[in-house]
Amino acid sequence: MSQHSDIIPAHGGQLINRIATAAQKQEFLDLADSLPRVQLDERSLSDLEMIAIGGFSPLTGFMEKADYEPVVTDMHMKNGVPWSIPVTLSVSEEVAEPLKEGSKVRLDSPTGEFVGILELTEKYPYNKAHEAINVYRTEETKHPGVAVVYNAGPINLAGPVWLLERKGHAQFPKYQIDPADTRKMFADKGWKTVVGFQTRNPIHRAHEYIQKCALETVDGLLLHPLVGATKSDDIPADVRMRCYEIILEHYYPQERVIMAINPAAMRYAGPREAIFHALVRKNYGCTHFIVGRDHAGVGDYYGTYDAQYIFDEFEPGELGIAPMKFEHAFYCTRTKTMATSKTSPSKPEERIHLSGTKVREMLRAGKMPPSEFSRPEVAAELIKAMQAK
């Protein structure tokens, strides 16, 4: 599907498509039993999918060393294009050793299904500690992103990839809207400015407030929940999606919001991942991206607004998508509205903040969070899910 001239260009200038044609798929199937195999984990499978649909444009495959090293060190690829997170396929020495550069490798899903092809151009060792410190700002393996790096094999396989076929998402087929399709939808609606919102948590009143503030200034909102791999204690994707459906039906202008799933996996890289999330939404056609408190953070590894400050490390216009920076929102008991410290005259004791941890405790106990924090229909859905779990 062609890009539409009214919409922001994909990152790097061209929306990538690495989904095999019918002829290519048949060719790959004919070769399937003769090719060496690499089994992907859940995150690598997500990465393959995101590369193939153009979500990770301009990447056409897993990163070669010449791109990997400058991305880790200074958030740019070798050609100077900004990129903040390495996208690599790491394997053991035993898996890597027999693979020949210049050959094709069959990529299998975690369950052993043939899902893609890697045109292997390079295999190289990498420094895990260097990646952890630069990307995650810590070497502690209790950080979920660092744990993935340290548990991965010591050799990166690089080269262009092909996704064998684009299958419908098992859980959310109606919300599987790929970058070429969101771009067409935005163009068809006449939207020139679109703000993207990333979330891995159930939607609450603070989210609603900042989304609607943003929606006052642009043509449309892409509500883009991440449904790839997350931490085991995060709320499951199907529960989060039901919450979004409920709130969109009752509390949002339907004609100005599109909800689509983001099939990527979480890295929990805080500031670096905020840049990554913005570039992915640019590929989906967004011109703006909401960055709130502790975006993509975990534990206390990152400062409250580090994910906003990192945007200032790039030249004006270099990223090609504008961050919309929001402070932590709360319910102000003095003005009886949602607010932030920028808009509220209240003292700290007049502000209702509820942490995600506190809310999860209330939900597990079957207690309804106050309406200042969560719409009652959403809270009821979360209680039902928590108690079933």
Residue 231 predicted with pLDDT over 90: no
Contact call for residues 244 and 209 (beta carbons, < 8 A): no
Is residue 279 one of the residues assigned to a domain?
yes
Residue 4 predicted with pLDDT over 60: no
Q: How far apart are CA 292 and CA 301, in angstroms?
A: 16
**Selection from 37, 63, 45, 50 nearest residue 158 by Cα:** 63
> Across the strands, what pairs with 364?
none
Q: How far apart are CA 157 and CA 277, in angstroms?
A: 24
**Same domain, yes or no: 157 and 72:** yes
Query: What is the average per-residue pLDDT within 2-7?
Result: 52
Q: Give the model's pLDDT for residue 353.
A: 86
Q: How far apart are CA 206 and CA 203, in angstroms?
A: 8
User: Tell me, what DSSP letter sits at residue 256?
Assistant: G
> Across the strands, what pairs with 107?
38, 116
Q: If DSSP codes are grouped into helix, strand and coil, which group holds residue 133?
A: helix
Reported as a pLDDT band with limits 50, 70 and 90, residue 3 is very low
Pairing of strands 104-108, 37-39: parallel
86 token code pair? 């390495």
Q: How far apart are CA 160 and CA 24, in angstroms?
A: 14
**Same domain, yes or no: 150 and 190:** no
Annotated catalytic residue within 200, 240, 281, 375: 200
Residue showing tokens 């459906």: 245
Contact call for residues 66 and 51 (beta carbons, < 8 A): no
Annotated catalytic residue within 37, 201, 256, 293: 201
**Same domain, yes or no: 27 and 46:** yes
Burial annotation 79-94 (CB, 10 A radius, 16+ → b, else e)? eebbbbbbbbbbbeee
Query: What is the average per-residue pLDDT within 108-129?
Result: 98
Query: What is the average per-residue pLDDT within 328-347?
Result: 94
Reported as a pLDDT band with limits 50, 70 and 90, residue 5 is very low
**Same domain, yes or no: 121 and 178:** no
386 or 44, greater pLDDT? 44
**Same domain, yes or no: 148 and 220:** no
**Selection from 267, 270, 266, 283 nearest residue 321 by Cα:** 283
Q: Give the model's pLDDT for residue 199.
A: 82
Contact call for residues 179 and 284 (beta carbons, < 8 A): yes
**Same domain, yes or no: 189 and 115:** no
68 token code pair? 């990997």
- Residues of the domain holding 33: 22-163
Q: Give the model's pLDDT for residue 387.
A: 80
**Same domain, yes or no: 365 and 303:** yes
Residue 2 predicted with pLDDT over 90: no
**Same domain, yes or no: 157 and 262:** no
Contact call for residues 70 and 76 (beta carbons, < 8 A): yes
Q: How far apart are CA 174 and CA 33, in angstroms?
A: 34
Domain boundary among 110, 137, 163: 163
Query: Average model confidence (pLDDT) for the chain?
Result: 93
Query: What is the average per-residue pLDDT within 248-257?
Result: 96
Residue 153 predicted with pLDDT over 90: yes
| 283 part of the active site | no
Is residue 15 one of the residues assigned to a domain?
no
Domain boundary among 140, 163, 186: 163
Contact call for residues 258 and 185 (beta carbons, < 8 A): yes
Q: Give the model's pLDDT for residue 6.
A: 58
Domain boundary among 133, 163, 193: 163
**Same domain, yes or no: 41 and 138:** yes
Residue showing tokens 């060719």: 27
- 48-83 pLDDT, tens digit per residue, is 999 999 999 999 999 999 999 999 999 999 999 999
Residue 96 predicted with pLDDT over 80: yes
Is it true that the peptide bond before 58 is cis, omega within 30 degrees of 0?
yes
Is residue 203 one of the residues assigned to a domain?
yes
Contact call for residues 302 and 270 (beta carbons, < 8 A): yes
Cα–chain center distance at 372: 28
**Same domain, yes or no: 294 and 340:** yes
Number of domains in the chain: 2
| 262 part of the active site | no
Q: Which residues contact 187 (CB under 8 A, 6 or more apart)?
A: 4, 6, 7
Is residue 10 one of the residues assigned to a domain?
no
Q: Within a 10 A sphere around the Cβ of 265, how many other Cβ atoms?
A: 20
> Across the strands, what pairs with 199?
225
Pairing of strands 288-291, 194-199: parallel
Q: What is the DSSP string of 281-325?
A: HHHTT-SEEEE-TTTT--TTSS-TTHHHHGGGGS-TTSSSSEEEE
The pTM is what?
Answer: 0.94
